[in-house]
Amino acid sequence: MFDAWSVSRLRTTRTRSFCPENPRGAPGQAARSEAGSASRAARDLGRGWKVDPYVDIPPGATHELASIDEPGCVRHLWATTDRPHWRSLILRAYWDGADEPAIEVPYGDFFCNGWGVYAHVASAMVVAAPHGGMTSYWPMPFREGARITLENIGHETACVYYQVDVETGDSFEDHGYLHTQFRRSNPLTAGTTHLIAEAVEGQGMYVGTYLAWGSHSNGWWGEGEVKFWLDDDEEFPTVASTGLEDYMGGAWNFDVNGYQTYTTLYLGLPQVIRPDGLYESQQRFGMYRWHVPDPIRFSHRLGRVDVQALGWYPDGRYKPLTDDIASTCWLYLDRPVTTRPLLPNRDALSV
C-alpha cells in the first residue's frame, strides 16, 4: 500500500497509460490520432489537439480499457460516463491470462455510487468528484499480465472517457491479486442476512466494503451486525461489529439532527437520498469502510461475510427488515481466480 516515504524513492519501473488517445499504452504513442471521437471539435487545430478522447460502447458490446502482457500494477483508474449507465456498465479485470474475472462489478458500485445519483466521495481508495469523475487508487498487481474491460448491458450507447495508469518493470510476486464480489438482495427475506462474501478459497485479506442500502420501512434500519467467518470458523465468526453504523465508523444512527453525511480516508456515509414526494419513494443510503490500516487476514479461507438488517418494534424488540441491499467487497488473494457469485442480470441490477 501507499506510504508517504514512497513518493521520493527512485525506482527502475516505468509508467504505461491506457486511454482512447493511447489504447495500447505504448511509449510515445499518445495523442497521435488524425481522426476520432472529437474530430469535428478539433478540425481547426488538427492532430494532437484532443482528437479522440472518448469511446462509445453500444448495447451488448465490451470495450477493452487496457491489456498488459508483462508484470505490473494498476496504480490509478479514472473514468466518467453519464449516470444512467452506472448500473449497466460492468467493470471486469482478469489477471495473468485467467479466463474468469477477479473483478466483476457494476461501474457505479465500484466507485461507491451504486444508486445512479452522484455522491461526493473523498476517500483514500476511491474518489467521486464533481460531476461524476470516478477514480480508483486500489493497487491491482499482477505477475504476468492483465486485461480490464467494460461491458454495456444496458439499452443505450454509453459514452466513456477513461485513463488506466500502470506501473511495469518490477516483480510483484509477494503481492495479492485484487478481487471483488458484488451481490444484491432486493428485497432481503425477513429473518435472513445479506451475504457479502462466501467460500473464498486462498490466503488473503479482506480490505473493503461498500453498501447501497434502501430502507423499505419506517424507523432506523442499521441495527444489525457485520460478521466475518475466517479460516476454520464454523458456527460462530471471529469478527463481529456492534452495529452497522458502528462498523462504518459512526454511532447512534448517524443522527445529528437527522442523518449526517461524511466522507473520510477510510470510512464514510457520503450519500443519503430522501423521498421527494413523487418518484423517490424511500430513503436510500451509500456507505463504505476500507480495511486498509486494519486488513482482516485469513490463512486459507474466507468462509463468509454478512450483514444483518435490523430495525425496532415499538416495544423494544429487534425487527428483521426486508430492505434492498447491494454490496461490493474488495479483497486481496494469493491467486488470480477464486469462487465468485453470479452477477445479477440487467433487470435485477436496475435501480
Cell triple for 275: 423521498
CATH architecture assigned to 1-176: Sandwich (2.60)
Pick the CATH number of 177-333 from 2.60.120.1390, 2.60.40.420, 3.40.50.300, 2.40.50.220: 2.60.120.1390
In the chain, which residues fall in CATH 2.60.120.1390?
A: 1-176, 177-333
What's the confidence (pLDDT) of residue 349? Answer: 98
Can you read off the three cell numbers belonging to residue 288? 463504505
Pair type for strands 226-230 and 239-240: antiparallel
What's phi and psi for 4, nearest 5 deg? -60, -35
pLDDT of residue 3: 67
User: Residue 250: what pLDDT?
Assistant: 98
What would the 3-class secondary structure string for 125-184 be? CEEEECCCEEEECCCEEECCCEEEEEEECCCCCEEEEEEEEEEECCCCCCCCEEEEEEEE
Maximum C-alpha span of the chain: 73
Dist. CA 186–CA 58, nearest whole Å: 28
Cα 261 to Cα 274: distance, rounded to the nearest angstrom:
12
pLDDT at residue number 7: 83
pTM summary value: 0.97
Distance of alpha carbon 214 from alpha carbon 208, whole angstroms: 20
Q: How far apart are CA 307 and CA 194, in angstroms?
A: 5
The helix/strand/coil state of 309 is coil
Distance CA 1, CA 63 (A): 29
Round to whole Å and give the CA distance between 139 and 141: 6
Burial class from Cβ neighbours inside 10 Å (0-12, 13-18, 19+) for residue 201 reads middle
Report the C-alpha gap between 104 and 251 in whole angstroms: 32
Q: Could you give the CA distance from residue 290 to residue 126 in angstroms, rounded to a whole number?
A: 10
Instruction: Per-residue pLDDT tens, the chain, 351 aa: give them.
Output: 556 667 888 989 999 999 999 999 999 999 998 899 999 998 999 899 999 999 999 999 999 999 999 999 999 999 999 999 999 999 999 999 999 999 999 999 999 999 999 999 999 999 999 999 999 999 999 999 999 999 999 999 999 999 999 999 999 999 999 999 999 999 999 999 999 999 999 999 999 999 999 999 999 999 999 999 999 999 999 999 999 999 999 999 999 999 999 999 999 999 999 999 999 889 999 999 999 999 999 999 999 999 999 999 999 999 999 999 999 999 999 999 999 999 999 999 999
pLDDT tens column, 126-173: 999 999 999 999 999 999 999 999 999 999 999 999 999 999 999 999
Q: Which helix (H) or strand (E) holds 263?
A: strand 262-263
Query: How long, in residues, is the chain?
Result: 351
- Asked, as a colleague might, if the bond just before 187 is cis with ω within 30 of 0, I would say yes
